[in-house]
Each structure stands twice: as structure tokens, then as C-alpha cells.
Amino acid sequence: MDFHEKTCLPCQGGIPALTIDEAARISLNVPAWRVESEATRLVRDYKFRNYAEALAFVNAISNVAETEGHHPDICFGWGYATVTLFTHKIQGLHENDFIMAAKFDRLFAN
């Protein structure tokens, strides 16, 4: 099964966040993303040709986020979107975040 085909399982808390080493290893599955803030955030910058394309992407990934019940933080505007993933319940990264990242990348057509 490809990484993006995995399902994002609800994270109920009570489990540890990934360590920096674990996050670095799993991040090889989504090389365009960067692990930030002592491995508590997963971030990618996307570029677009205008505002409308950025907004369309924001809606596309939001649809996936609602389906999976795992929501990103998004900063976007004319020609760009920066997407941040983390798992709120554990205030850090979980495999789910990397699965979501892979799913988002599949929606990026540029």
C-alpha cells in the first residue's frame, strides 16, 4: 500500500508524539515537507499561478481533512499556500500527519 493510501486513524491522545529521529525517518515518505519546531510540526509551502488556484487547492485538501477528521492549519494568498500539520491531542507529530501530507501532495497538480 502506498503511503498516501493509508487511512488517518483518530488519535485519542495518551500516546507519545514521534521523536525527532522517528519523524525524520518517516518524513522520507513526503520529501517536499519539512519537520519543524523540534519535530512538533510538519510544514510545506505550495506555489500557484494566482489566488484562485491557491484557493482551489485549499478547498481540495480541506475536503480530505474533513473526510479524515484531521485538519491542517493553512496560510494562503495570491499564488501560495503554506500548510502545517500536527496532532493536537499529542501536541506533536503522529504518523497520521505524514499520511495527510502524502494525500495533500496527491492533490497538488502543479
Residues with Cβ within 8 Å of 7's Cβ and at least 6 positions away in sequence, in order, are: 68, 99
Q: Are 101 and 90 in contact (CB under 8 A)?
A: no
Considering the complex, state which of residue 32 and residue 78 has its C-beta at the smaller distance from its own copies.
78
Residue 14 burial (CB count, 10 A): 7
3-state SS assignment for residue 9: coil
Considering the complex, state which of residue 18 and residue 61 has its C-beta at the smaller distance from its own copies.
61
Which helix (H) or strand (E) segment holds residue 29: the answer is none
Considering the complex, state which of residue 22 and residue 68 has its C-beta at the smaller distance from its own copies.
68
From the list 59, 67, 91, 106, which residue makes contact with its own copies (rule: CB under 8 A)? 59
CB of 78 to its own copies, least distance (A): 5
Q: Binding segment for its own copies among 21-29, 32-40, 52-60, 99-107 (CB under 8 A)?
A: 52-60
Angle between helices 95-106 and 51-68 (to 10 degrees): 140
Contact set for its own copies, span 61-90 (CB under 8 A): 62, 65-66, 71-78
Residues that bind its own copies (CB under 8 A): 51-52, 55, 58-59, 62, 65-66, 71-78
